[in-house]
Amino acid sequence: MRTVVADHLRAAGCEVQQFADGADAWQAIRERMPDLLILDRMLPGLDGDELAVRIRAISSVPIIMLTALDGLEHRIEGLEHGADDYLGKPFSLRELQLRVNAQLRRSSAVAPLGFTAGRFRVDPEHRRVWSGEREIALTTREYELFLYLVRNPDRVVSREEILREVWQWGFGDASTVTVHVRRLREKIEPDPRIPSFLHTEWGAGYRFTLQEVPA
């Protein structure tokens, strides 16, 4: 399956390296960070979850989990370990290609001007965010979610809207949004247990406020 995927992506114009185990992949990633990583959770030696955690400690490179572990809890675990997207086996090579293209577009998109929103400063050209003087390390998907919320302040947005506008999915598992909101809170909130910016509106969705007011 790894060879089939690699051949398909090469035919689509991608430069591809493939590895049979996590340790070899980690060594190669440390030497040269790829533009995107397709990662199986069940790898020999260094498993995919641990590899994702290590990568997230040094990079926001997009990660697509591609695995037979497709249950709800497995998807949530994969996202919590740092994946931006999750595709279960069996899968369509066409769907995988579309998800790869979407992740690469997001990670390479360039917006012209930076802006300030409350205590946050955003540099869209380099996809960087600061809270005061502290830079916040966000993954590609976390950055897209943050950008959508900060551009829609004080408005309740549903998980379905976020899936549609940020993930560009017409349908999907809304728990994906829940996981990313939790991860985003851990990075932008002074105390994620008592959100000051990203509030849950029970039964409706989420509301982002630029005023630092505890829920």
Q: What is the pLDDT of residues 170-179, one digit of tens each?
A: 666 788 899 9
In this predicted model, which residue has the larger pLDDT, 115 or 183? Answer: 183
Please, what's the b/e burial string for 140-178 (b: 16 or more CB within 10 A of its CB; e: otherwise)? bbbbbbbbebbebeeeebebebbbeebbeeeeebeebbb
Phi, psi (degrees; rounded to nearest 5) at 66: -125, 105
* Res 116 pLDDT > 50: yes
CA distances 11 to 3, 5, 105, 137, Å, are: 12, 10, 19, 33
Mean pLDDT, the chain, rounded, equals 85
Q: Where in the chain are all domains bearing CATH 1.10.10.10?
A: 115-208
User: How many CB atoms are closer than 10 A to CB 100?
Assistant: 22
Strands 85-88, 63-67: pairing kind: parallel
Task: Output the pTM of the full model.
Answer: 0.56
Domain 115-208: which topology?
Answer: Arc Repressor Mutant, subunit A (1.10.10)
Q: Where in the chain are all domains bearing CATH 3.40.50.2300?
A: 2-108
- What pLDDT is recorded for position 198? 95
CATH superfamily of the 2-108 domain: Response regulator (3.40.50.2300)
Among the listed ranges 23-27, 122-126, 160-164, which one has the minimum average pLDDT value? 122-126
**Portion of the chain with pLDDT greater than 90, in percent:** 34
**In this structure, which amino acid lies at residue 3?**
T
Please, what's the b/e burial string for 59-90 (b: 16 or more CB within 10 A of its CB; e: otherwise)? bbbbbbbbbebeeeebbbbbbebbbbbbbeee
CB-based contact 150:208 (threshold 8 Å): yes
Nearest CA to 68 out of 82, 87, 95, 48 is that of: 87
Cβ neighbours for 138, distance < 8 A, ≥ 6 positions apart: 60, 127, 129, 146, 184, 187
* Euclidean distance between CA atoms 44 and 22, whole angstroms: 7
Q: Which residue has the tokens 């066409």?
A: 94
* Res 132 pLDDT > 60: yes
In this predicted model, which residue has the larger pLDDT, 72 or 102? Answer: 102
